[in-house]
């Protein structure tokens, strides 16, 4: 089977301009696409007037956990075996091997697709595959919750709504690139333990797998 992939890299002539110009191709990242849904006024100020919303505080600890989790799951990718947290949940999914994986994770490349004369792109954490070759989008999250994350019905909370859009956006991008993608996606939560007697220069986490049924339409 042959797929016509959209190149993850655009040269300088085809890169998006800062200000949207009608009739010309424009690049929309996952965060900018969500900005339109969250705050159309903010989207207008950003893309039409060039007034960008102030950035949020960098989540350095979260980024460190994300990096280490990628390294851990990459080990199981090399072995082509399911991670223990996947086995514990009764699933037979293994980390997906693909020569574009490093690009899909690169903040300057990502996975991209063209639609309605414009370009869209996002940066994934991971993607798993089942025995039938169907892909499952995966995102890592670091948090500290007093109880296990069992019921993830948090659509009424705007902070978590962006989580769901993120997975659905990635599902859509993979579909546009010709992959068979399941509407089922997964969050891997690294839930930090804050009930230990001492810090001792280390943080400990419980890994939890949370299923989400996306709607990329």
| pLDDT less than 70: residues of the chain | 1-18, 146-159
Environment class of residue 128 by beta-carbon count within 10 Å: exposed (0-12), middle (13-18) or buried (19+)?
Answer: buried
**pLDDT value of position 22:** 80
**pLDDT value of position 14:** 39
Q: What is the DSSP string of 56-122?
A: PPP-HHHHHHHHHHHHHHHHHHHHT---HHHHHTT---EEPP-TTHHHHT-TTS-EEEEETTEEEEE
Q: What is the DSSP letter of 142?
A: E
Q: Over the chain, what is the mean pLDDT?
A: 85
| Pairing state between β 135-143 and 184-192 | parallel
Radius of gyration of the chain from Cα atoms? 18
3-state helix, strand, coil in the chain (%, to 5): 30, 20, 50
């Amino acid at each position: 089977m042959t797929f016509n992939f959209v190149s993850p890299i655009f040269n300088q002539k085809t890169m998006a301009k800062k200000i949207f110009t009608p009739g010309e191709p424009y690049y929309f990242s996952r965060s900018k696409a969500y900005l339109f849904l969250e705050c159309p006024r903010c989207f207008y100020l950003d893309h039409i007037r060039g007034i960008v919303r102030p950035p949020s505080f960098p989540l350095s600890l979260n980024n460190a956990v994300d990096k280490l989790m990628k390294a851990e799951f990459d080990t199981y990718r090399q072995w082509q075996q399911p991670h223990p947290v996947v086995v514990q949940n009764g699933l037979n999914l293994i980390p997906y091997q693909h020569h574009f994986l490093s690009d899909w994770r690169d903040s300057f490349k990502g996975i991209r697709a063209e639609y309605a004369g414009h370009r869209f792109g996002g940066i994934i954490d991971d993607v798993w595959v089942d025995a039938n070759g169907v892909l499952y989008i995966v995102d890592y999250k670091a948090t500290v919750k007093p109880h296990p994350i069992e019921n993830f019905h948090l659509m009424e909370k705007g902070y978590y709504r962006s989580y769901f859009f993120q997975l659905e956006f990635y599902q859509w991008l993979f579909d546009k690139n010709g992959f068979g993608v399941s509407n089922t996606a997964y969050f891997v939560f690294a839930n930090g333990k804050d009930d230990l007697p001492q810090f001792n220069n280390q943080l400990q986490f419980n890994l939890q797998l949370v299923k989400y049924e996306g709607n990329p339409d």
